Amino acid sequence: MMIRRFETADGRAVSDLIAHTLRTTNSKDYTEEYLENDIRHLQPGDILRRAESQHFYVAEEDGRIIGCGSIGPYWGKEDESSLFTIFVHPDFQRRGIGKSIIEVLEQDEYALRARRIEIPASITGLPFYLKMGYTYKGGKAEVDEEQLYRLEKFREPSPASRISQTDEQRQVVREMMDLILSRHSFRGTYTPEKVPQEDLRAILEAGLAAPSGCNKQTTSLVAVDDPILLRKVLSVIDPPIAQTAPAAICVLTRRINAYRDRCYAVQDYSAAIENMLLMIHAMGYASCWYEGHLTDVDRIGDKIAKVLQVPEEYELVCLLPVGIPEEAPKAPRKQPFEVRAWFNDEVPCFDVSSLKQSCSKS
């Protein structure tokens, strides 16, 4: 089972899932008339509209949508959010899927920025939400005129919001997160527009600012924007990559030890590369971490180093093209938060080999 963001094509499946769950699971607590009225307002078009204003997620198993949930601002408020549309198909209930959906929603940016999260809970869902740590809003343990309980949970302000007191600082934190989440590898065609050297310099500076083991600063960088030299560099790469890029940054490393026999060169240049990838993206350019092509047995990195007349003590390990992409980079599928990150003792016991992971470009 994986939880991913809703896509437009999911509208029908989500609507059907909700209708079936309401008619099956909720029928013990609500009249047919009540449920059919709800279902009328949860048609595919309604789901698509919700997904526009809320962050909508689906739980998927073997290509089938078996659960859903969404989060959005509570009446447009910045620091209060509300969970909506949480359903798990009757055949998949009591397997922890609802819990996983709530956990994903509680890690969404609408939750992280909120000090309070509300749930309009059905009578059917009430015990589950209470178990998830939600309590009656204002202590009122009664359904309202919509026959729903109003539940809420107060969140500890996140360290980020505690440190960043001002709206301006909170905005910076949000933009930073958006930047990180919207960076994707680009392997398509670049426009011929040149990258000004001041931009390349800023990217190099971001790379050099990265941490390095014992501050050994094992990473060095070469920006190539001279069209003739760049052509020479790109022409030794086989199979060809980044052929249309107007500039490229070559990452060099010196494999010197930080202490005793501990060499952190790989960690050092990886940190530098990520800094540069984020900077490249922040400036409106695209890139891709090309390393496999360079450090494989055919040692293309060595050939590029020769073209650039790099001294022997440096190893050329990576090339980052820099340029304006002709089309927006596509987001690869990533495993949901709760499959790869946990708090405290929540690390689940599962068969890691069941995770679909491969070296393919996803």
Ligand X SMILES: Cc1cc2nc3c(=O)[nH]c(=O)nc-3n(C[C@H](O)[C@H](O)[C@H](O)COP(=O)(O)O)c2cc1C
Q: Report the C-alpha gap between 22 and 31 in whole angstroms.
A: 11
Would you count residue 340 as binding ligand X (CB under 6 A)?
A: no
- Nearest distance in Å: CB 238, ligand X: 13
Minimum CB distance to ligand X smaller for 68 or for 242: 242
Give the residue, chosen from 6, 134, 290, 314, that forms a contact with ligand X under the rule CB under 6 A: 290
Task: Compose the 213-232 pattern: x for residues touching ligand X by CB under 6 A, - for all others.
Answer: --------------------
- Distance in Å, CB of 235 to ligand X, minimum: 17
Question: Looking at beta carbons, which residue is closest to ligand X?
Answer: 292
SS3 116: strand
Q: Which one of 38, 60, 79, 291 is in contact with ligand X (CB under 6 A)?
A: 291
CA–CA separation, 178 and 164 (whole Å): 17
Does 361 bind ligand X (CB under 6 A)? Our answer is: yes
Instruction: Of 53, 64, 54, 61, give the one whose Cα is nearest residue 10.
Output: 64
The sheet carrying 247-253 orders its strands as 219-224, 247-253, 315-322
Judged by CB under 6 A, the chain residues 84 through 143 that form the site for ligand X are none
Cα-trace Rg, the chain: 25
x-or-dash pattern for ligand X, window 165-204, by CB under 6 A? Answer: -------------------xx-x-----------------
5 counts as binding ligand X under rule CB under 6 A: no
The label of the residue with tokens 């940190």 reads: 271
Helix (H) or strand (E) holding 219: strand 219-224
293, 324, 335, 337: which one binds ligand X (CB under 6 A): 293
Binding mask 298-337 for ligand X (x = CB under 6 A): ----------------------------------x-----
Q: Name the DSSP class of 45.
A: H
- Give the count of beta carbons closer than 10 Å to the beta carbon of residue 244: 14
Instruction: Encode burial over 97-113: b for 16+ CB neighbours within 10 A, e otherwise.
Output: bbebbbbbbbebebbbb
**Which residues contact ligand X by CB under 6 A?**
184-185, 187, 288-293, 332, 361-362
